[in-house]
């Protein structure tokens, strides 16, 4: 799919790619989101479209590849768009190598920060969590599921008061604010 195609050509390609299993209304919603995302490419808020085009042509270079976008409304009322997956992007975002980037939520409460990460298929002893300043790093040493994510925390935390638990592939890290 070329991102230079007309909107009608792009819609037709999307419909062929998703097939007939999605309802018409859902396809219209996907098309609207893609149009909105493509409008944001020029201001540096989204991924480089040529990257996705290259992956679709040659998926064996990153096999399997995982790419997703998490969209939510920020506290200031502006949308926050976060990428996740193992598709190479900015060097700061995803480490070199075949690491997967887990889907992560950061919840700021009155006296603590809660970080929730999806890490399916890993054991407790494979997970390493490190805190340095306002940065939390989650790293998983698992040959089939090598997750890695660095998260900028919204405020300073008490490193010694951190607690973590994992259940059903969901890691929860609770950090007391400094």
What pLDDT is recorded for position 20? 61
Thinking of the domain 100-178, which architecture would CATH place it in?
Sandwich (2.60)
Of 146 and 39, which is predicted with more confidence?
A: 146
pLDDT in tens, 51-70: 555 555 554 554 555 667 67
Residue 150's pLDDT band, with cuts at 50, 70 and 90, is very high
Q: What is the pLDDT of residues 71-92, one digit of tens each?
A: 777 777 777 667 666 655 543 4
CB distance 153 to 106 below 8 Å: yes
DSSP string, 47-82: --HHHHHHHHH-GGGSSS--EEEEEEE-TTS-EEEE
Looking at residue 36, its pLDDT comes to 67
The residues that bridge with 147 in the sheet, in sequence order, are: 100
Q: Which residue has the higher pLDDT, 49 or 38?
A: 38
Q: What is the pTM of this model?
A: 0.51
């Amino acid at each position: 799919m070329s991102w230079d195609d007309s909107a009608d050509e792009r819609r037709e390609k999307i419909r062929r790619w998703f097939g007939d299993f999605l309802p018409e209304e859902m396809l219209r919603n996907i098309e609207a989101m893609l149009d909105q995302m493509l409008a944001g490419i020029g201001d540096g808020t989204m991924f480089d479209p040529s990257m996705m085009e290259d992956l679709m042509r040659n998926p064996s270079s990153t096999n399997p590849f995982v790419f997703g976008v998490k969209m939510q409304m920020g506290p200031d009322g502006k949308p926050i768009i976060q990428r996740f997956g193992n598709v190479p992007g900015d060097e700061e975002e995803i480490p070199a190598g075949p690491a997967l980037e887990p889907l992560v939520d950061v919840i700021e409460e009155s006296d603590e920060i809660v970080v929730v990460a999806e890490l399916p298929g890993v054991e407790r002893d494979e997970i390493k969590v490190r805190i340095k300043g306002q940065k939390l790093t989650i790293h998983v040493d698992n040959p089939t599921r090598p997750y890695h994510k660095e998260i900028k925390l919204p405020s300073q935390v008490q490193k010694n008061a951190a607690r973590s638990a994992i259940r059903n592939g969901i890691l929860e890290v609770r950090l007391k604010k400094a």
